[in-house]
Structure 1
Amino acid sequence: MLSIGDFARLAGVSVRMLRHYDALGLLRPARVDPSSGYRSYSAGQLDRANRLVALKDLGFTLEDCGRLLEDDVPAEQLRGMLRLRRAELAEQIQADRARLEQVERRLRMIEKEHTMSSSVTLDVFREQPLPAVRVVRRSSRVTEGQQVGEVVGPLFGQVEEAVRGAHVEPAGPSMGHYTMEGDELVAAAAYPVGPEVGEAEASAAGLELAELEAQPRALVTTLRGPLGGIGEAWQTLSREVESRGLSFAGPCREVYHVADLDDPDHWVIELQQPVA
């Protein structure tokens, strides 16, 4: 028999938690000394302890843990449940990391207001017209500004896969364009295409064929650095628009001249904002 202290050490839990499990009927000691009240456990109870701790650590409530343990869930079924829970937690961790990165970027922007991070550079601002561009695209509506990256990233992957699968030859680098419709932002991932691509070809690939209208005047610059700096870059561009006495006058565009997912710190993105 094992003392409660030894069993706690082997199971990787505290003595206090073992007493709590006992009180809840989740893991009762094999023997309780009637005179001293000392609890003793058998080595065979480690299997139940391992299951209980695994279920608890993976986010199940103690009530759920008790039900699963009492139902004597087969090991394979339990493993499947744990794998599913592990996948859910991994997804949550990824989402939390993305939110943490957003917070850190926002802090950097506050700490360095009106200046760019040292890892990000912008080319000289220039005014120029924007040509009409014929594109195939997929789009989605975004209600929260912080969701733009979460939404647009997968869209680019979908468009690229569809274009490649349909053997469509892009006429230039990938593009993003953004339009406000009421309180919602319509974010689109696109590739420019030539006149040989028609509605039928686009539809067969699961894409929308559209034309971005020509713009007579736009303020343009190019970001060189990590994609994470794009928020700072757009804020800097907006200040430049204001300092020139101009105003936003149409959907903005991003042209991804260099966008290597294996080298996320050295992207080259042209920012194009129609102005008036």
Structure 2
Amino acid sequence: MFKIGDFSKLTRVSVRMLRYYDEVGLFNPAKIDDFTGYRYYSAKQISDINLVMPLRDMSFNVADIAVFMKEKSEEKLEDILKVKGQEIENNIRAEEIRLEKINAAIKDMKKERVNMSYNVTLKSLPSYKVISLRNVIPTYEAEGMLWIRLGEYVIKKNIHCNNIAYSTYHDAGYKEGEVDAEVVVGVDNLMKDEDGFTFKETEAVDQAAIILVPGDYSNVAEAYNFLANWIEENGYIMIGNPRQVAIKGPCNEKRTEDYLSEIQIPVKK
């Protein structure tokens, strides 16, 4: 079982929305502690919330989503998508973006689905000497602005870096905006902090569950789902913020299909 904050991090659905979905009966936690009232979620629920969120993004109301979630029928999903598509066509240009999402969802639904499988490894993560830049950014997609600033500073100061580089987030759960993000690069020597750039030694991690994710960054959500199920099924619990390491990315690959990311989640029995 995962606490609501940890479940929020794994699914990138805010704690506020998870509580709201519970209150309206759309998506309930697997367990609520009788004494503390804390909500706990199962990894098996990730696939369900991943069905809810795209429909919410398309502006379907809670009642329609509840009908689909009850039946979980592809025919029912296609029916309600087509109805929304007709509404968007009536609104013409103002609703073009939503119409594209509907048509794309119908197209994707008809494709043969390929279930990706990953090899999970357990290993310790040593302490690293790093330079980091931590700031609040508008959205998760804006992380690139931190990497640009960090890269420019490293070049300006002629700092010798190694191949350690990852990003992490410090919020209690997934947020829809104002994200507390940190980007980290390994260095040979620690220097004096300045202008928001921090030199430090990271804490070693005794044990982390790790998978490699090939291809476009859109594959990462499915990889988190897989790893969350593995953690739960093998009797581990999550004890720290996930790290996402770009082994191959925009800096050294032109094609997104050649990207290679590594997800690291600190765990213990």
TM-score, with structure 2 as normaliser: 0.52
Gaps of 5+ in 1: 1-95
2:184 to 165, 179, 190: 190
CA distance in 1, matches of 2:210, 2:194: 32
1:66-145 equivalent positions in 2, closer than 5 A: 123-141=118-136
The letter of the residue matching 1:188 is: E
Partner of 2:84: none
CA distance in 2, matches of 1:100, 1:172: 43
Q: Is the 8 A contact 2:190 2:200 kept in 1?
A: no
CA distance in 2, matches of 1:225, 1:273: 20
Q: Is the 8 A contact 1:179 1:250 kept in 2?
A: no
Relative distance call for 1:227 and 1:250 in structure 2 (3 A) is same
SS at match of 2:159: coil
Partner of 1:169: 160
CA distance in 2, matches of 1:232, 1:197: 37
SS at match of 2:154: helix
Partner of 2:208: 218
- Report how far residue 265 of structure 1 moved: 2.3
Partner of 1:244: 234
Partner of 2:38: none
Gaps of 5+ in 2: 1-95
CA distance in 1, matches of 2:213, 2:129: 24
Please give the per-residue CA displacement for 1:186-220, whole angstroms capped at 9, x wherever unaligned. 321111112x231x2x526x512233211111101
Please give the per-residue CA displacement for 1:131-151, whole angstroms capped at 9, x wherever unaligned. 1122111123368xxx31x23
Relative distance call for 1:100 and 1:271 in structure 2 (3 A) is farther
SS at match of 2:130: strand
CA distance in 2, matches of 1:238, 1:191: 26
Relative distance call for 1:178 and 1:210 in structure 2 (3 A) is farther
Partner of 1:78: none
Number of aligned residue pairs: 165
- Report how far residue 183 of structure 1 moved: 7.5
2:218 to 210, 224, 228: 228
Question: Which is further off, 242-251 or 170-179?
Answer: 170-179
- Aligned residues with identical type, % of pairs: 21
- Report how far residue 264 of structure 1 moved: 2.2
Q: Is the 8 A contact 2:246 2:262 kept in 1?
A: yes
SS at match of 1:203: coil
CA distance in 1, matches of 2:238, 2:227: 11
CA distance in 1, matches of 2:172, 2:224: 19
- Report how far residue 123 of structure 1 moved: 4.3
Relative distance call for 1:173 and 1:123 in structure 2 (3 A) is farther
Relative distance call for 1:252 and 1:264 in structure 2 (3 A) is same
Q: Is the 8 A contact 2:207 2:266 kept in 1?
A: yes
- Report how far residue 273 of structure 1 moved: 0.5
CA distance in 1, matches of 2:162, 2:133: 17
Question: Which is further off, 218-227 or 261-270?
Answer: 261-270
1:270 equivalent to 2:265? Answer no
The letter of the residue matching 1:221 is: I
- Report how far residue 243 of structure 1 moved: 1.2
Relative distance call for 1:240 and 1:136 in structure 2 (3 A) is same
- Report how far residue 122 of structure 1 moved: 5.8
